[in-house]
Amino acid sequence: MTTTSSQPAIELAPQLPYSALRQLLSEITGDSKHLPSATSTLDVLWVLYDRVLRIDPQHADDPDRDRFLLSKGHGPASYYAVLAAKGFVPRAWLRAMGTFDSPLGYHPDRVLIHGVEISSGSLGHGLPIGAGTAVGLRAQGSPARVIVLVGDAELDEGSNHEAIAYAARAGLENLTVVVIDNTSSTHGWPGGIARRFDVEGWAATDVDGRDHEQIAAAFSTRHDGRPLAVVAHVEPKGSM
């Protein structure tokens, strides 16, 4: 049973540029001075939807679409802003986020939002789900890739490490994880996060999480027969 979104067809909105995100974020948060740099995930999300993922609102149910799984469902304002800029959700929804009748919660729900692949919020679920989806797509011969976004503190959850070990041994080349590293993990990752993926058999690369060229290039890193980990470093949490 794969229930698709019950949301009615919506009129397609025009696509908006990166420069519009600041305004969209303000509409969500009600804070007119909102800086894009205050959201750790914004640039990675933008590059994914603008340059990496083969997905658009007209093909949100295509079996061969790329899958983006926002595992770190906390602070989804930047996700919603990018989805609105790319025409997945109506801009009019943004101002009502979190209200009783709004499809947009403080954690996204795949059943309520067309184009959202998983319902998240509790940490440590996206990567194990993504590993299963990657297996399922590979079994069906689909060219689609699965990209999961996690946070460095989210990696505290042990469930991630079950998936990290398995995905490498299963050779899930169609699975990519992007770790937004804002140094917020309570006990940290001595030696770096990329090394942990590397030792398990992933291809792993570090990038500046604000540099769009570096981010885009990282997602095309060659990783024959192996899953790919992109560790995107941004300003430490609370430093802005």
Partner 1 sequence: MTPLELRNHASSIRRTSTTGPARSHAVATMREQFVETATDLVESDPRVAVVLADISSASFGPVMRRHPDRVLNVGIREQLMVSAAGGLALAGMRPIVHSYASFAVSRAYEQLKLDLTYQDVGAVVVSIGASYDDTGSGTTHFAPEDVALFDTLPGWHVHVPAHLDEVDPLLRGAVVGGGRHYIRLTDYVVPRLRIVPTTRPRAVVVAVGPTVANVIEATHGLDVAVLPITTVRPFPLQALRRAVFELTGEADVILVEPYLAGTSAHEVATALVDVRHRLLALGVGRRDLRRYGTAAEHDAAHGIDVVGLRRSIKNFVDAGYKMPDGE
Residues that bind partner 1 (CB under 8 A): 1-3, 63, 67, 110-111, 117-119, 122, 125, 128-140, 142, 158-159, 162-163, 165-166, 170
Nearer Cβ to partner 1 (136/188): 136
Nearest alpha carbon to residue 227 among 166, 167, 152, 157: 167
Nearer Cβ to partner 1 (1/9): 1
Smallest gap from Cβ 138 to partner 1, in A, equals: 6
Q: Which helix (H) or strand (E) holds 110?
A: none
Side-chain half-sphere CA neighbours of 160 within 13 A: 23
Smallest gap from Cβ 127 to partner 1, in A, equals: 8
Smallest gap from Cβ 120 to partner 1, in A, equals: 9
Q: Is 175 helix (H, G, I), strand (E, B) or coil?
A: strand
Smallest gap from Cβ 189 to partner 1, in A, equals: 21
Nearer Cβ to partner 1 (44/69): 69
Residue 95, judged by CB atoms within 10 A of its CB (0-12, 13-18, 19+), counts as middle
Q: For the sheet containing 203-208, what is the strand order?
A: 67-70, 146-151, 175-181, 228-233, 203-208
Nearer Cβ to partner 1 (24/168): 168
